[in-house]
Amino acid sequence: MLLKDKKALIFGVVNDRSIAYGIARQFKEHGARLAFSYAADPIERRLAPISEELNGEFMFKCDVTSDQEIATGADLVREKWGNVDILVHSIAYANRDDLKGRFIDTSREGYKVALDVSSYSLVALCRAFEPLFSPGSSVLTLSYYGAGKVVANYNAMGVAKAALEACVRYLSVDLGENGIRINAISAGPVKTMAASGISGFKTILGRIEEKAPLHRNITIDDVGKCALYLASDLSTGTTGDVVFVDSGYNIMGV
């Protein structure tokens, strides 16, 4: 088992279609101990049976736009576990109005919300949990092709994901001083709750099937297996990187 008795903290499971669920399931199959965070009370009701299914040891509420809630969460994890070996950041949000039409029409408030929730939250979590990370710990986050290329209607989220990938690079230097790795997985489009807010999402799925070398869309298990590699000792020399899991779509030209 690649993660036997490793303590993995998962942020971002909303339901059993979440990419974070696919990651958590792979971690469980390889012996990891799991704990889950949720952003709001309605999500707790959906997360509870998933945590039970995956033998989660505890859950806690954490609004990642609040430094106080993050600090409280870190204190709870310290009390429950003492340390953390793996942290998964699978969190993103933008107002629905900022995921359609012209990017130039993005509101100032919408821009700030997208960057705060989708990018800065990674920095805030790493800062709060850094004292808890064991030597050789691994931090993972989720990005998308739209961070580096223009994807219709992705708009504010594309900019937020670009910032997220830059955060991974800069955080890798800070965390690397203590032997902690951090990487991003750029996952292809998956039918998740978050994706439902993007206009024209079905068109994107069809384009992947047509153009990608593997001619199929990815699954949450595809992402979970990559996360397993990045969380385990198989990837001890990899940090600050963005790994694509998109059936090869990102390599294609015209």
For residue 58, give the CATH number of its domain. Answer: 3.40.50.720
The closest alpha carbon to 250, from 196, 182, 185, belongs to 185
Classify residue 51: in a domain, yes or no.
Answer: yes
Provide the pLDDT for residue 194: 61
Using an 8 Å Cβ cutoff, are 187 and 223 in contact? Answer: yes
Domain range holding 142? 7-246
pLDDT in the model for residue 196: 58
Q: Catalytic residue at 144?
A: yes
How many separate domains does the chain show?
1
- pLDDT-above-70 percentage for the chain: 96
Q: Is residue 234 part of a domain?
A: yes
144 in a structural domain: yes
Domain assignment present for residue 252? The answer is: no
Burial of 149 (0-12, 13-18, 19+ CB in 10 A): exposed
Using CA atoms, how far apart are residues 50 and 150, in angstroms rounded to an integer? 35
Kindly state the average pLDDT of the residues 210-229. 97
Reported as a pLDDT band with limits 50, 70 and 90, residue 248 is: very high
| pLDDT band at residue 203 under the 50/70/90 scheme | confident
Q: What is the pLDDT of residue 104?
A: 98
> Which residues fall within 8 angstroms of residue 87, CB to CB, at 6 or more apart?
8, 9, 11, 125, 126, 129, 133, 137, 138, 139, 140
Instruction: Choose the catalytic residue: 21, 38, 93, 144.
Output: 144
Residue 206 sits at φ, ψ, to 5 deg, of: -65, -35
Q: Which residues are annotated as a binding site?
A: 12, 18-19, 63-64, 91, 94, 161, 190-194
Binding residues for substrate: 94
For residue 225, tell me if it sits in a domain: yes
Exactly one of 21, 38, 111, 154 is catalytic; name it: 154
What tens digit of pLDDT does each residue of 14-52 get?
999 999 999 999 999 999 999 999 999 999 999 999 999
**254, part of any domain:** no
Q: Would you say residue 82 has pLDDT above 70?
A: yes
3-state secondary structure of 226: helix
Q: Give the pTM.
A: 0.95
User: pLDDT band for position 238 (50/70/90)?
Assistant: very high
Residue 253 lies in a domain: no
Predicted local distance difference test score (pLDDT) of residue 204: 84
Q: Where would I find the H helices in 121-192?
A: 121-129, 155-176
Instruction: Give me the mean pLDDT over the 166-179 stretch.
Output: 98
Predicted local confidence at residue 206, as pLDDT: 87
Taking CB atoms within 8 Å and a gap of at least 24, the contacts of 207-211 are 208/246, 208/247, 208/249, 211/249, 211/252
Partners of 183 in beta bridges: 140
pLDDT tops 90 at residue 253: no
Tell me, yes or no, whether 251 lies in a domain: no
The yes-or-no answer on residue 249 being catalytic is no
Tokens of 221: 């298990």
Helices within 81-153 (DSSP H only): 108-115, 121-129
pLDDT score recorded for residue 197: 58
Per the model's pLDDT, the better-predicted residue between 213 and 200 turns out to be 213
